């Protein structure tokens, strides 16, 4: 299942949910998903992609003015705790391995408000090394074991575009209802996407409601 939306600057943003045929065990997560800075010597290309595309913030005490901050805390829960091994989380998401500098974890230097600071794996957004190498862009990949992920994508499919209500009236007009109309802003990227008939969302296999009811039972799904 996937859904495509357009963010504030008009760039397309895809939310994709993939079901795996075989269960992904906790000891296999590190083979697919990483939340650490790659080795700049053995894999300089991936190191460049991750350090330019997959670093959150920095925020928190290092940058209280970051856009993700609200009431003194990061709304995306960064910086994340540093742990030596990946463990299964209680909310459906694993706690990914993020080794500290003392545990051979790597660090990088970034500029915050014209000052150069050192950060580690606590600010790395989880990514798939294979997908990062292919697309060379920001691609957050998570292993989720919760039904909330399905609800999350269904919300994006059905919520519709951002809309605004505005009124156009002369100086002495009193007919409020007739002078109001719905307005919708469509960016150039979204307009081109729709003109070329690209897919906005897709579900495979398709699930539809059947008008079949068992006695004293619920409607069936196919």
- Residue 87: band (very low, low, confident or very high) from pLDDT cuts 50, 70, 90: confident
Q: Angle at Cα 110 formed by Cα 109 and Cα 114, nearest 5°?
A: 125
Provide the b/e sequence for 9-29 (b: ≥16 CB within 10 Å).
eeeeeebeeeeeeeeeeeeeb
**Residues whose CB is less than 8 angstroms from the CB of residue 115 and which lie 6 or more positions away in sequence, other chains included:** none
DSSP-assigned letters across all residues of 79-96: SPPPBSS-B--TTSS-B-
The pLDDT tens digits for 96-114 are 999 999 999 999 999 888 8
CA distance 206 to 202: 8
Would you state the pLDDT for residue 143?
A: 87
**Residues whose CB is less than 8 angstroms from the CB of residue 38 and which lie 6 or more positions away in sequence, other chains included:** 46, 47, 50, 106, 129
Q: Model's pTM, two decimal places?
A: 0.73
pLDDT reading at 208 higher than 90? no
CA distance 221 to 218: 9
* Beta strands 115-119 and 108-112, pairing class: antiparallel
Would you state the pLDDT for residue 80?
A: 93
Among the ranges given (40-49, 50-59, 83-92), the one the predictor scored with the smallest mean pLDDT: 83-92
Average pLDDT across the chain, whole number: 83
pLDDT reading at 177 higher than 70? no
Among the ranges given (55-69, 150-164, 166-180, 183-197), the one the predictor scored with the smallest mean pLDDT: 166-180
- Residue 5: band (very low, low, confident or very high) from pLDDT cuts 50, 70, 90: confident
How many H helices and E strands in the chain? 5, 11
């Amino acid at each position: 299942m996937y859904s495509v939306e357009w963010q504030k600057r008009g760039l397309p943003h895809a939310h994709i949910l993939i079901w795996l045929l075989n269960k992904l065990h906790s000891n296999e997560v590190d083979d697919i998903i990483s939340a650490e800075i790659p080795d700049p010597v053995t894999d300089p290309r991936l190191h460049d992609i991750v350090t330019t595309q997959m670093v959150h913030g920095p925020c928190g005490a290092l940058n209280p003015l970051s856009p993700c901050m609200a009431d003194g805390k990061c709304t995306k829960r960064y910086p994340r705790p540093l742990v030596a091994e990946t463990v299964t989380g209680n909310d459906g998401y694993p706690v990914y391995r993020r080794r500290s500098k003392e545990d051979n974890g790597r660090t990088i230097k970034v500029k915050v408000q014209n000052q150069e600071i050192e950060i580690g794996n606590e600010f790395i957004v989880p990514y798939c090394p294979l997908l990062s190498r292919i697309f060379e862009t920001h691609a957050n990949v998570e292993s989720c074991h919760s039904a909330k992920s399905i609800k999350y994508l269904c919300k994006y499919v059905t919520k519709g575009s951002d809309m605004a209500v505005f009124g156009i009236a002369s100086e002495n007009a009193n007919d409020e209802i007739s002078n109001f109309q719905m307005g919708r802003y469509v960016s150039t990227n979204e307009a081109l996407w729709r003109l070329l008939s690209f897919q906005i969302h897709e579900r495979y296999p398709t699930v539809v409601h059947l008008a079949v009811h068992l006695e004293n039972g619920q409607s069936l799904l196919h």
